Amino acid sequence: MKKKYPESAMMSYGYNPAEYGGAVKCPIFQTSTFVFPTAEEGKRQFELAYGLDEAKEGEEKAYIYSRISNPNLEICEKRLALWEAAEDGAFFASGMAAISTAFLSFLKPGDLLLHGHTLYGGTSHFIEEILPLMGVKILSFSPNESKEQILDRLKDSGELPALKMIYAETPSNPTNALVDIAMLRSLIDELNSENQIILAVDNTYMGPVWQHPMAHGADLVLYSATKYIAGHSDVIAGACLGNAELMLQIRTMRTFLGNMIDPNTAWLISRSLETLKIRMDRQAYNARKVADYLKGHPLVERLYYPGHLEAVDGRQYDIYQRQCMSGGGMISFDIKGDEKDAFAFLNGLRTIKLAVSLGSSESLAEHPASMTHAGVPREERMAHGITDQMIRLSIGLEHFEDLIGDIDHAFSASRQPENSLKEWMLEDSPL
């Protein structure tokens, strides 16, 4: 039989209703521990869990304790892995839990981590403030650098032999700058190092529907599942995917850090995965409509949207064509003026909510310079294009005409700042 599309498998994969009284949906296994039928069986399961012995042909691992695994956790992990065609996937208590666990699993004192700019604020803090305390060395590159420039930088640092991991976020938050995953893979292959150098990619912005980093040579794919995967602004979670060998190390670290998700969160994520494709498709459709509107707008100084790169940047467009299957659902733009104009615009929005986070059913807007990227020093922010005029939009599932109407209204309000707050309070008070 032809292999099913992932969106079809999301409704059934890994669950057999006949085993659970015919329940069409998997029940929530709200249990911390699992009963062994005999002491011998308990002993055997621990031998397998600790890797003291290999499983025999046909022998199944049983559940032991919900920090290690649980039926709800296992089902949503198997289903997520289908999207990336990955051998294994693991869910975590947050995107930061997944990312920090990946670092802690593979980096030791003296190792070098090469990372791209710009990164999610929390990731950037962990890399710049926490990893150095553990003796991990760090070096960065920008999305505009060529392979040769990055190699030269690595050689000049004198730390090339210590390189253990390359970490990139693409498109990067909040500028939508694209990093060439295949280029990083070929850089690693060229180095022909004796130690395995791991290529890890944060795919939160595009995935798992619009971009498959492993197909371009990534070893690990990381997610804030809080965003598109869970998709309803009601869950905090993260995920990591890769081959069985790397994932065994990640899972082992997770067992001892104890940062897995609970059965109820896992159940909510399985629920969300059923609508992942249709949500992301509609969000991308809406985002293109909004980007088309913003493109010609007289109050937009600069637009950052991967689907509109063709006329803007040839190199970025080339990466986009090879790597992304859609322009995605995230749009940033510089409004003409300064912080005051950006704030007046944000205060003038009514349908689009003023909040951080992204990838949810409702549209959200925020001001990266003073919110998500407030921790980045001003000079560094400016160097990466995170201006005081920048506004970041996460496009949701509303009708695109309502979104464009709202943005249109906020633009007018931004030019009469003294009126906008009053008008918003009178017309559409959420209370």
Ligand X SMILES: *Cc1c(COP(=O)(O)O)cnc(C)c1O
> Which CB, 394 or 414, lies closer to ligand X?
394
Which span (118-126, 143-151, 175-183, 322-330) binds ligand X, by CB under 6 A?
A: 118-126
Does residue number 120 form part of the binding site for ligand X (CB under 6 A)? yes
Residue type, 153: R
Picking from 86, 85, 36, the residue whose alpha carbon sits closest to that of residue 65 is 36
> Which CB, 122 or 307, lies closer to ligand X?
122
Does residue number 304 form part of the binding site for ligand X (CB under 6 A)? no
- Residue 6 CB, shortest distance to ligand X, in Å, is 21
DSSP result, 369-388:
TTTTTTTS-HHHHHHTT--T
Cα Dmax for the chain = 76
Assigned token pair, 353: 């909510």
Does residue number 204 form part of the binding site for ligand X (CB under 6 A)? yes
- Return the axis-axis angle of helices 244-257 and 95-106, rounded to nearest 10°: 110
- Residue 224 CB, shortest distance to ligand X, in Å, is 3
Options 67, 147, 185, 289, the catalytic residue: 67
Interactions with ligand X, residue window 211-230 (CB under 6 A): 224, 226-227
Q: How far apart are CA 377 and CA 295, in angstroms?
A: 29
Options 63, 88, 111, 120, the catalytic residue: 120
Which span (69-77, 115-123, 145-153, 316-324) binds ligand X, by CB under 6 A?
A: 115-123
202 is catalytic: yes
Does residue number 124 form part of the binding site for ligand X (CB under 6 A)? no
From candidates 169, 334, 341, 366, binder to ligand X by CB under 6 A: 169
Does residue number 95 form part of the binding site for ligand X (CB under 6 A)? yes
Interactions with ligand X, residue window 232-271 (CB under 6 A): 236, 238
Q: Are 211 and 325 in contact (CB under 8 A)?
A: yes
Q: Can you list the pairs that 122-129 forms with residues at least 24 positions away whose Cβ atoms lie under 8 Å?
A: 122/95, 122/96, 123/96, 123/99, 123/167, 123/169, 123/202, 124/375, 124/376, 125/375, 126/96, 126/99, 126/100, 127/103, 127/167
Options 88, 111, 202, 334, the catalytic residue: 202
In terms of phi and psi (left: phi > 0; alpha: psi -120 to 50; beta: otherwise), the region of 98 is alpha
Number of residues this chain uses to bind ligand X (CB under 6 A): 16
120 is catalytic: yes
> Which CB, 93 or 309, lies closer to ligand X?
93
> Which CB, 157 or 361, lies closer to ligand X?
361
> Which CB, 71 or 208, lies closer to ligand X?
208
β-pairing verdict for 353-354 and 238-242: unpaired
> Which CB, 6 or 238, lies closer to ligand X?
238
Chain residue whose CB lies nearest ligand X: 95
> Which CB, 127 or 154, lies closer to ligand X?
127
Using DSSP, state whether 83 is helix, strand or coil: helix
Does residue number 100 form part of the binding site for ligand X (CB under 6 A)? no
- Residue 287 CB, shortest distance to ligand X, in Å, is 16
Picking from 243, 247, 320, the residue whose alpha carbon sits closest to that of residue 85 is 243
- Residue 198 CB, shortest distance to ligand X, in Å, is 17
Counting DSSP H helices and E strands in the chain, the numbers are 15, 12
Count Cβ atoms within 10 A of the Cβ of residue 418 and give its class: 0-12 exposed, 13-18 middle, 19 or more buried.
exposed
Q: Which residues form the interface with ligand X (CB under 6 A)?
A: 94-96, 120, 122-123, 169, 173, 202, 204-205, 224, 226-227, 236, 238
Which sequence positions are flagged as catalytic?
A: 67, 120, 202, 227
